[in-house]
Structure 1
Amino acid sequence: MYNQGNQSISGKELSYISDCLKNEELLTKLCVQGAVECQSPTLKQTLTHLSQERLQNISTLMNTLQQHSGMTH
């Protein structure tokens, strides 16, 4: 178990966060690829928005991992 101040996170939880990070990265790539290749402006806008949301999730997950592993930017 990793401790950060009063908080602790298990190895299993860290593994889960890592898996989520990989999934978000894959979803981001798929959304970007779809936005580049699609012909519909509405679909392109939706996929672009979804990719931005995925990037925000990646940022949140990375911050969580950094907080609990003692990493710095």
Structure 2
Amino acid sequence: MYNNQGNHTITGKELSYLADALKNEDLLAKLCVQGAVNCESPSLAQTLSQLSQERLHSASILINTLQQQSGMTH
């Protein structure tokens, strides 16, 4: 779908997909943190902690991209 300026606008279906993707990134980050806290292996705990940070970074990139596309700011 395109708006009057010829730019692509996000459809309801796409917004739903993006909301699901953000929820999944959040869930994965939480699971990694929980695993890191409960893990007995320091190297595995470090890996899970790093994965958690990567998931949060991915979510942040997605949110920033959506804000740029919509012209929104925090």
Give TM-score, length-normalised by structure 1. 0.82
The list of structure 1 runs, each at least 4 consecutive aligned residues, that deviate by more than 4 angstroms after superposition, is none
> Distance in 2 between the 1:46 and 1:20 partners?
22
Match of residue 32 from structure 1 = 33
Identical columns (%):
71
Alignment map for 1:31-50 (pairs within 5 Å): 31-50=32-51
Instruction: Give 1 or 2 for the bigger CA radius of gyration.
Output: 2
Q: Which structure 2 residue ranges, 5 or more long, are not aligned?
A: none
Q: Which residue of 2 aligns with 1:64?
A: 65
TM-score w.r.t. the length of structure 2 is: 0.82
Consecutive unaligned residues of structure 1, counting only runs of 5 or more, are none
Greater RCO structure (CA 8 Å; 6+ sep): 1
Higher share in strand = 1
- The CA RMSD measured in Å over matched residues stands at 1.8
Task: Tell me the amino acid that sits aligned with residue 10 of structure 1.
Answer: T
Q: Name the CA distance, whole Å, in 1 between partners of 2:67 and 2:2.
A: 12
Per-residue CA shift, 1:13-62, capped at 9, x if unaligned? 11101100000000000000111110101110110110011011110121
